[in-house]
Amino acid sequence: MNGLLKFSKRIDDLNTIVGKATMWLILATTLISAGNALVRKIFNTSSNGLLEIQWYLFAAVFLLGAGYGFLKNSHVRIDFVSGRLSKRARNWIDVFGIVLVLFPFCAIIISLGWPFFMQAFVSGETSQNAGGLIRWPAYILIPIGFALLLLQGISELIKRIAFLTGNGPDVLDSEESMSDDAKRIAELEAQTAKDLAGAK
């Protein structure tokens, strides 16, 4: 289990590096968008290439950042329900969700996305818009993004099994892994308890 946990840590580190790098793409997209808007307003001209690079960068943010989102527990979770379950129940639900839903879904998207990318790469497919970009850099984001998400799924599965077998902490119970909604609920509960104690 120690070897698997070390492997899990390496995956976490990889997705952390990729996830933090994609944050800079948001800034790049914003600057390109603002620059394009200014050029269009001032000089009454625009570029389809600049518009398309914004789409590519947005795609990179969402696809390459998916694994990091899973690591940070920022994916959709019904906190109202999961917050009332036992720690073991929450971890078992994640185990089944990862194995039965996440892994097959990622495998299907990767297997469909790779030929899609290869076809565009070999043919040199470009946008139909005047001054548009080649398409394969956007298409390759699909298999890469879902491969990173699949890897993070493996890491999360290892951590869940480690907890269930008594070989690791409950990562779902750590503040870092709490979703924003769960953190707000915890803050409200703490504030309510403090207010009640002060009223007494």
The per-residue pLDDT string of the chain (200 residues; one tens digit each, 9 = 90 and over) reads: 778 888 889 998 999 999 999 989 999 888 988 888 888 888 877 777 778 888 889 889 989 998 888 888 776 565 555 566 677 878 788 888 889 999 999 999 999 999 989 988 888 888 777 777 888 888 999 999 999 999 999 998 998 888 888 877 777 776 555 555 556 666 777 777 777 777 66
Domain tally, the chain = 1
Q: How far is the C-alpha of 182 from the C-alpha of 69, rounded, in Å?
A: 15
- Closest to 131 (Cα-Cα) out of 14, 52, 77: 52
pTM recorded for the entire structure:
0.76
CB 82 within 8 A of CB 181: no
For residue 200, tell me if it sits in a domain. Answer: no
For residue 9, tell me if it sits in a domain. Answer: yes
**3-state DSSP assignment of residue 134:** strand
For residue 7, tell me if it sits in a domain. Answer: yes
Range of the domain at 16: 2-195
Beta partners for residue 134, in sequence order: 126
For residue 96, tell me if it sits in a domain. Answer: yes
For residue 154, tell me if it sits in a domain. Answer: yes
